[in-house]
C-alpha cells in the first residue's frame, strides 16, 4: 500500500496530497449534512429530525456521562471530532479517496489539538503556576509527549493496518484467482464444462435441502467456470474472480467497525483528558 498521492508540489513541498483532498471532502460533506439536518427544526419532529435529535442527544449524553454535566458545552467539538474521524475513515471505502485517518499527519494533528486543549484548560482552571509545578516531576513531560503520540499512532495504525490488510488480501485473492482460473482453463473446455455442471448440481441440491452454503458454493463454482470460459475464448485476461464477496465481509470489519471503534476511542480519550483538565467548580475551589 502506498502513502497518500501527491497532487501539488510547490518548491519541493507536498502542499496538496490525497489526504488534504479527502479531509476537505469530509468537511464539506459533514457541513452540508449538518446544515440540512439542523434546518427547519419543528416542535413536532419528522422522521429525519427524530434521528438527528437522537444522535445529538446521544452525543450530549456521552459527553455528560464522561466529562460531567458542567462540561456539556464540549459536545460540539467532540461531535465534530468523532464525525470527522468516522467520516475520514469511511471515505477510504469509496476507493477514489484515501482515508484521512490512515495518514499520521491527520491523527497527530487531532491528538495535538487535544493536548493543547488539555494544557489550555489546565492553565485556565488551575493557573499557570500549578500547570508548571506539574513538570517538577520530569516524568510528566514524557507522559505529555507520549499521550498525543500514542493517540495518533493508535488511530493511524488501526486504520492504516486495516487498509494494508485489505490491499494484501486483494493481492492474494488476485493471485489466487489467477492460479485457479489457469488450472481450470489449461485443462481444456471439458473441465470448464464439468465445473459448470458441478456448480449447477451443487446449487440444485442446495435448493432442494434448503442449505444456503451449498447454494453459494454452487453459484461460486458456476461463476468460476464462466470466468474460465471467458478467459479461454480470450474475451478477458486475468479476471480477479475471487475478489468478489470475501473482501466485502472483511471490509465490514476493517473499515466500518474499526473506523467506528477508533473514532469512538479517539473521542473518548479526548473527553477523558479534557474532562480531567476541567473539573467541576466545587472541586476547583478545594
Partner 1 sequence: MTGFEQIIGINPWTALFTFCNMIITFLLLKKFLFKPVKKMIDARQKEIDDMYAQAESSKAEAAKLQADYEEHLSSARAERDEILADAVSRAQKREAEIIAEAKSDAAAIRVKAEADIAQEKKRALNEVKNEISSISISIAQEVVEREITAADHERLVSEFIGRLGEDYD
- Angle 218-223-225 from CA coordinates, rounded to 5°: 100
CB of 104 to partner 1, least distance (A): 6
- What is the CB-side half-sphere exposure of residue 250 using CA atoms within 13 A? 16
Distance CA 97, CA 7 (A): 12
Query: Is residue 77 a contact residue for partner 1 (CB under 8 A)?
Result: yes
Using CB under 8 A, which of the segments 105-113, 138-146, 202-210, 272-280 binds partner 1?
105-113
DSSP 244: S
CB of 148 to partner 1, least distance (A): 12
Using CB under 8 A, which of the segments 103-111, 131-139, 173-181, 229-237 binds partner 1?
103-111
Query: Is residue 6 a contact residue for partner 1 (CB under 8 A)?
Result: yes
Q: What cell does 77 get?
A: 467539538
Using H for helix, E for strand and C for coil, what is the string for 203-224?
HHHHHHHCCHHHHHHHHHHHHH
Query: Is residue 56 a contact residue for partner 1 (CB under 8 A)?
Result: yes
**Would you say 98 and 22 are in contact if contact means Cβ atoms under 8 Å apart?**
yes
**Would you say 218 and 193 are in contact if contact means Cβ atoms under 8 Å apart?**
no
Among 75, 115, 122, 251, binds partner 1 (CB under 8 A): 75
Distance CA 258, CA 265 (A): 10
Distance CA 267, CA 273 (A): 10
Site string for partner 1, 25-54 (x = CB under 8 A): -xx--xx--xx-xxx-xxx--------xx-
Query: Is residue 114 a contact residue for partner 1 (CB under 8 A)?
Result: no
Distance CA 46, CA 42 (A): 8
Site string for partner 1, 226-265 (x = CB under 8 A): ----------------------------------------
Residue ranges in contact with partner 1 by CB under 8 A: 1-7, 9, 13-17, 19-20, 23-24, 26-27, 30-31, 34-35, 37-39, 41-43, 52-53, 56-57, 59-60, 75-77, 79-81, 83-84, 100, 103-106, 108-110, 113, 160
Amino acid at each position: 500500500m502506498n502513502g497518500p498521492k501527491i497532487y501539488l508540489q510547490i518548491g519541493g513541498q507536498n502542499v496538496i496530497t490525497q489526504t488534504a483532498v479527502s479531509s476537505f471532502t469530509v468537511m464539506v460533506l459533514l457541513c452540508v449534512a449538518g446544515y440540512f439536518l439542523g434546518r427547519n427544526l419543528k416542535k413536532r419532529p419528522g422522521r429525519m429530525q427524530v434521528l438527528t435529535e437522537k444522535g445529538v442527544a446521544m452525543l450530549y449524553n456521552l459527553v455528560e456521562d464522561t466529562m460531567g454535566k458542567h462540561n456539556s458545552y464540549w459536545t460540539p467539538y467532540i461531535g465534530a471530532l468523532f464525525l470527522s474521524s468516522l467520516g475520514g475513515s469511511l471515505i477510504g471505502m469509496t476507493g477514489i479517496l484515501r482515508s484521512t485517518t490512515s495518514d499520521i499527519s491527520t491523527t497527530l494533528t487531532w491528538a495535538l489539538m487535544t493536548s493543547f486543549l488539555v494544557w489550555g484548560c489546565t492553565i485556565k482552571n488551575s493557573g499557570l503556576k500549578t500547570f508548571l509545578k506539574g513538570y517538577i516531576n520530569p516524568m510528566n513531560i514524557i507522559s505529555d509527549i507520549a499521550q498525543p503520540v500514542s493517540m495518533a499512532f493508535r488511530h493511524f495504525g488501526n486504520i492504516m493496518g486495516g487498509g494494508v490488510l485489505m490491499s494484501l488480501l486483494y493481492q492474494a485473492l488476485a493471485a489466487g484467482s489467477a492460479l485457479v482460473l489457469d488450472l481450470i482453463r489449461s485443462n481444456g473446455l471439458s473441465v470448464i464444462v464439468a465445473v459448470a455442471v458441478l456448480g449447477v448440481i451443487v446449487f440444485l441440491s442446495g435448493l432442494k435441502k434448503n442449505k444456503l452454503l451449498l447454494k453459494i458454493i454452487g453459484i461460486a463454482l458456476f461463476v468460476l467456470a464462466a470466468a474460465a470460459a471467458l478467459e479461454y475464448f480470450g474475451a478477458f485476461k486475468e479476471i480477479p474472480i475471487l475478489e468478489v464477496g470475501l473482501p466485502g465481509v472483511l471490509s465490514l470489519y476493517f473499515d466500518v467497525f474499526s473506523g467506528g471503534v477508533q473514532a469512538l476511542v479517539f473521542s473518548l480519550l479526548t473527553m477523558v483528558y479534557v474532562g480531567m483538565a476541567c473539573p467541576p467548580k466545587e472541586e476547583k475551589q478545594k
